[in-house]
Amino acid sequence: MRIDILTLFPEMFSIFNHSIIGRALEKGLIEINSHNIREFSLNKHKKVDDYPYGGGAGMVMTPQPIVDCIKATKKLNRGKVIFLGPRGKTFNQEIAKNLSKEKELIFLCGHYEGIDERVYNYIDLEISLGDFILTGGEIAAIPIIDSISRMVPGVLAVEESYTEESFYSGLLEYPQYTRPEEFEGLKVPEVLLSGHHENIRKWRRKQSLILTKTKRADLFSKINLTKEDIKLINEDNINKR
């Protein structure tokens, strides 16, 4: 996958040179490039913002540098142009899964009071990280790009690493344990030590269902429960009778 980021602060994306994404870059599984929008400004002072027509606080990013940056990047990357902004769909795992299947993507990071409305003619998709305000689109782009990149085949050691994580299947992930077997009087559930794969699978599924129901009722309401799911959830009530 190739990802190009259009930004005023390309140095912020050096974070991807580390850890799992850094190793994926070294292996050539993904390619992440950042382009400084300011370099495309025709203003002699490389200015990229101006006062809003009609008055108001703050500054607005001017269209010329952004559009020229998009056009130049499109010669290298034919993917969708994604703008990080408040009008977009709130980012979630489903969007991440869909975007991870793309071969090329372009991310546009806004700043100040936003971008000139005419830039939207060059945008294919707008994504919001949530209903809160950040100082710039770069901060929103980082977790979104990370979430997408880690699902590119080969980035993680095994596909199971992300398919069983929270939100991938619509459920929160089951509790995880590692050594020691007992810590401060708290023991690892016996079923995880049993070696019985089917019982472990059922326990994990049950825990995911219970956690999601108690912690994220909004997610649980969207799950199409199987007969096994209903049985697992009701097991404790049956045993108490």
129 is in an annotated binding site: yes
Nearest to 40, CA basis, from 10, 3, 17: 10
22 is in an annotated binding site: no
134 is in an annotated binding site: yes
DSSP H or E stretch at residue 24: helix 19-27
130 is in an annotated binding site: yes
- DSSP-assigned letter for residue 174: P
Mapping DSSP to helix (H, G, I), strand (E, B) and coil, where does residue 172 land?
coil
132 is in an annotated binding site: yes
Q: Is-contact 113 84, C-beta < 8 A?
A: no
168 burial via Cβ count (<10 Å: 0-12, 13-18, 19+): middle
Q: Is-contact 109 145, C-beta < 8 A?
A: no
Residue numbering of the annotated binding site: 110, 129-134
Residue numbering of the annotated binding site for S-adenosyl-L-methionine: 110, 129-134
